[in-house]
Structure 1
Amino acid sequence: MIGCYDFCGHYEWTFEWLRQQGGHELVRAYWDEAIHQDSQSHAVELIVGKGIEGMKEYWGPTLADEGAVYERTVTEDVFRIDMHECPSKGFLIRNGLHQYTDYCDHCMGWIGPLMEKAGFVIDHEHNHCGQCWWEMRRKNDASPSSAPGVLSGRSDVRLRPGWKSPQTDHYERATDPDDKTTV
Structure 2
Amino acid sequence: MIPSDHFTRFYNEVFKFIEQQGERELDDYFLEISKNQENHILHLIREKGFEGMLQYWSVIRDEENCDLDLGYDEDKFEIKMHLCPSLTKAKDNDAERWERYCDHCAGWIGPIMDKTGYHLVYDVIDRDQPQCHMRVYKDEAKAREAEMDVRLLMGWPGRKQS
Range of TM-score over shorter length: 0.7 to 0.9
TM-score computed with the length of structure 1 as normaliser: 0.76
The equivalent position to 2:75 in structure 1, one of 74, 77, 94, is 77
TM-score computed with the length of structure 2 as normaliser: 0.85
How many residues were matched structurally? 158
Shift of 1:12: 1.2
Identical counterparts, % of pairs? 30
1:154-169 to structure 2, matched below 5 A, reads 169=152
What's the counterpart of residue 155 of structure 1? none
Shift of 1:48: 2.8
Q: 1:97 to 1:76 in 2, by over 3 A?
A: farther
Secondary structure at 2:146 match in 1: coil
Secondary structure at 2:100 match in 1: coil
Distance in 2, matches of 1:114 and 1:134, equals 14
What's the counterpart of residue 26 of structure 2? 27
Distance in 1, matches of 2:141 and 2:107, equals 22
Shift of 1:38: 1.5
Deviations 1:88-117 (CA, angstroms, capped at 9, x unpaired): 101112334434220101000000000001
Distance in 1, matches of 2:158 and 2:108, equals 13
Structure 2, unaligned stretches of length 5 or more?
Answer: none
Shift of 1:39: 4.4
The equivalent position to 1:61 in structure 2, one of 59, 62, 76, is 59
Distance in 1, matches of 2:35 and 2:153, equals 25
Distance in 1, matches of 2:154 and 2:8, equals 23
Deviations 1:62-112 (CA, angstroms, capped at 9, x unpaired): 122101101123102210111010011011123344342201010000000
C-alpha contact 1:48 1:117 (8 A) present in aligned 2:
no
Q: Counterpart of 1:169 in structure 2: which amino acid?
A: L
Secondary structure at 1:107 match in 2: helix
Secondary structure at 1:142 match in 2: helix
Shift of 1:10: 0.5
What's the counterpart of residue 124 of structure 1? 122
C-alpha contact 1:32 1:113 (8 A) present in aligned 2:
yes
Q: Counterpart of 1:16 in structure 2: which amino acid?
A: K
Deviations 1:16-63 (CA, angstroms, capped at 9, x unpaired): 111112x12211211111x21124521122123321111011001112
Q: Counterpart of 2:9 in structure 1: which amino acid?
A: G
What's the counterpart of residue 142 of structure 1? 141
C-alpha contact 2:111 2:158 (8 A) present in aligned 1:
no
